[in-house]
Structure 1
Amino acid sequence: MNNQQVAKYYALLGEALEDKYLEPDMDEDIDDMSIHLGTLLSGHTVLELGCGTGFWTEVVAESAQSVVAVDINASLVDIARERGMPEGKVTFRVADALDLPEDIGNEVGKITAVLVSFLWSHLNKKEQEGLLATLKKRLGKDVLLVLLDDSFVEGFSETIAKTDADGTTYEILTLPSGERFEVPKSYQSDSALRKRLGNVAKDIRIERVEFFWILTCKLK
């Protein structure tokens, strides 16, 4: 990942990454997204990018045929491995989503769906375009692509601290230790998402709940 601040922040956050899901008002949205993901990815061989501690990996593994779960942080992958996933369904890999190994997915055969979990919003425009180009090159057309990410919620989400010359927006995130990190974070509108993916994807659909949004499409 080009911005190593993001990777370092989440590595240091560790298990506390899931603390945000303890927000009582988020319960209904988590349930809705879990059901939706389970339906979308049922029977698929899934490549998950940005699996973190495996919160959503565990959701997907319930209905998917199999999952290859990838994260850049070995420490987070170690936490995810301890979740007790369905036997034989999940393979974990430590890798950068922007520089995927050529053999990714070989453990389970042909990948039929990709889930990008809360990673898209941390990528700048060039990185987003690079990720899409890599997926298209490695996986070919008609693969289902699912982007799951945060919606901006007043009073809950961090405020945008700055915007750089390329239009990338940044938040200041603070660890429980008090250490602060400036990381890229975007909250894209439906129109911006459609514009970004329009050249490489078809059948784009976007749904939003209060805390999350989910985009589904097929690579051209």
Structure 2
Amino acid sequence: MQDYYAARAHEYDRIYAKPERQSDLRRMESWLPQALAGRSVLELACGTGYWTQFYAPAARQVVALDSSPETLEIARTRVPPQVQLLTGDAYRPPQAATAFDGAFAGFWWSHIPLQRIPAFLERLHAVLQPGAKVVFMDNRFVAGSSTPLSERTPEGDTYQLRKLEDGSSHRVLKNFPTAEFLLATVEPNAAVASYHQWTYFWALEYSLK
């Protein structure tokens, strides 16, 4: 996965150019800053900083990490100077001197193997304050717009076969969870949770107990 996104870094944001998705994107760009306003936010798998640029001005503090130096290089040209960008593993979030009261990951949940989700959330929640706001955003599967699924494993994970401009092909994990699955997954740790749906995207928003 890391090699794929490193190779894709300079063409990654073209996914946001699809004409049919523009209305959704404008709504999400407006919604996200409101969800994280005034928070000290830890962003996981920030990629090129595409979403960071929209909510960071409204946040109190942002620490954003990604495992790819190539995408972080692009992010540095895009995000406000007060954003701290780090090379790091989303499965091992950093422990700050003062726990974060917000967390965000855009288009990362779909790349987590189903069996790893509980441990991933446990580690994320461990670096957050009680009452912290957590936001995930990702793709819905829409036939004719989404890359077709090429494989489903016995565990339920689904994969796409993606091609890059250099002609290389990559087998990429891409899950499309239901609202029911998402809400049930975070329910044990959420004081309140809500699911938001657009035509091509979804968002999960919850506050920690």
Supply the distance in 1 between the matched residues of 2:76 and 2:81 (Cα, whole angstroms). Answer: 11
Counterpart of 2:80 (choices 79, 86, 103) is 86
The whole-number CA distance in structure 1 between the counterparts of 2:94 and 2:31 is 29
SS of 1:59 mapped into structure 2: helix
Q: How many residues align?
A: 209
- Written as runs of structure 1 = structure 2, the 5 A alignment for 1:36-47 is 36-47=31-42
Deviations 1:120-161 (A, max 9, x none): 001112221111100122224321110111111211111111
Q: Give, as a single letter, the amino acid of the residue that structure 2 aligns with 1:18.
A: D
Using the TM superposition, give the Cα deviation of residue 202 of structure 1 relative to its aligned residue in structure 2, in angstroms: 3.0
Q: 1:208 offset after TM fit, Å?
A: 0.7
Equivalent residue letter for 2:19: P
Aligned residue identity for 1:68:
V
On the 8 A contact 1:98/1:127 being kept in 2, the answer is: no
Equivalent position to 1:28, from 10, 23, 29: 23
Aligned Cα root-mean-square deviation (Å): 1.4
Aligned partners of 2:110 and 2:173 also within 8 Å: yes
CA deviation after TM superposition for structure 1 residue 214, in Å: 0.6
Task: Tell me the percent identity.
Answer: 30
Provide the C-alpha distance between the structure 2 equivalents of 1:35 and 1:26, rounded to a whole number of angstroms.
15
Instruction: Give the alignment of 1:173-184 within 5 angstroms.
Output: 173-184=162-173
Contact kept, 8 Å, 2:94 with 2:127, in 1: the verdict is no
**1:57-206 equivalent positions in 2, closer than 5 A:** 57-83=52-78, 85-88=79-82, 90-102=83-95, 105-106=96-97, 109-206=98-195
**CA deviation string 1:61-109 (max 9, x = no partner):** 12111211111111111110011x3342x0001101002233xx44xx4
C-alpha distance in 2 between matches for 1:8 and 1:86: 27
In structure 2, how many angstroms separate the alpha carbons of the residues matched to 1:196 and 1:183?
A: 23
CA contact (8 A) 1:46 1:66 kept: yes
CA distance in 2, matches of 1:43, 1:141: 16
* TM-score (structure 1 length as normaliser): 0.90
- What secondary structure is seen at the aligned counterpart in 2 of 1:147? strand
Q: Distance in 2 between matches of 1:119 and 1:27?
A: 20
Aligned-partner Cα distance in 2 for 1:201–1:87: 32
Could you tell me whether the CA contact under 8 Å between 2:101 and 2:129 is conserved in 1?
no
Q: Secondary structure at the match of 2:184?
A: helix
What secondary structure is seen at the aligned counterpart in 2 of 1:141? strand
Looking at structure 1, the residues matched to 199 and 113 of structure 2 have their Cα atoms a distance apart, in angstroms, of 24
User: Structure 2: 5+ residue runs without aligned partners?
Assistant: none
Displacement of 1:164 in angstroms is: 1.1
Aligned counterpart, 1:3: none
1:208 and 2:197 equivalent? Answer: yes
SS at match of 1:51: coil
The one-letter code matched in structure 2 to 1:172 is L
